[in-house]
């Protein structure tokens, strides 16, 4: 069986993408342990919240560090990404987008039957 090889530049980009996906998933999982959401939020949503949280958290960190260069794949970067994902999860919960359970709870509270 032939071995499939990528060009060195392509291999580097694949490695970077895989590192970022793993990093975002870790940040999303850390945030979800602090703010548990409804069970309907699956691994893809956790990954997306982790990715968006990485952007938000690292942007906030670079703003407070006044543009100093930081390595996002570091303990400080993980803290900032998790904090950003935590903020996004809190906003998600406050917006009432908790999934089907929150919709049924909202209709039960209002007394309407749908």
d(CA 94, CA 92): 6
In a domain? residue 6: no
Q: What is the DSSP letter of 40?
A: T
In a domain? residue 30: no
Confidence category of residue 72, pLDDT binned at 50, 70, 90: confident
d(CA 86, CA 27): 9
According to the model, what pLDDT value does residue 106 have? 47
In a domain? residue 109: no
In a domain? residue 35: no
How many CA atoms, within 13 angstroms, populate the side-chain half-sphere of residue 52?
13
Q: Tell me the average pLDDT of the chain.
A: 77
According to the model, what pLDDT value does residue 97 have? 62
pLDDT value at 95 more than 70: yes
How many domains is the chain built from? 1
pLDDT, tens digit, for every residue of 24-65? 888 888 888 887 766 666 778 888 888 888 888 888 888 888
In a domain? residue 54: yes
d(CA 103, CA 98): 8
In a domain? residue 77: yes
**Domain range for residue 60?**
43-95
d(CA 106, CA 49): 24
């Amino acid at each position: 069986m032939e071995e499939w090889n990528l060009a060195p530049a392509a291999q580097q980009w694949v490695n970077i993408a895989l590192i970022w996906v793993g990093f975002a998933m870790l940040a999303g999982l850390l945030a979800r342990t602090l703010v548990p959401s409804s069970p309907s939020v699956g691994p893809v949503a956790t990954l997306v919240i982790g990715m968006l949280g990485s952007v938000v958290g690292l942007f906030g960190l670079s703003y407070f560090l006044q543009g100093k260069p930081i390595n996002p794949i570091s303990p400080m970067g993980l803290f900032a990404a998790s904090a950003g994902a935590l903020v996004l999860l809190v906003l998600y919960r406050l917006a009432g987008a908790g999934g089907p359970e929150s919709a049924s709870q909202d209709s039960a509270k209002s007394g309407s039957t749908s």
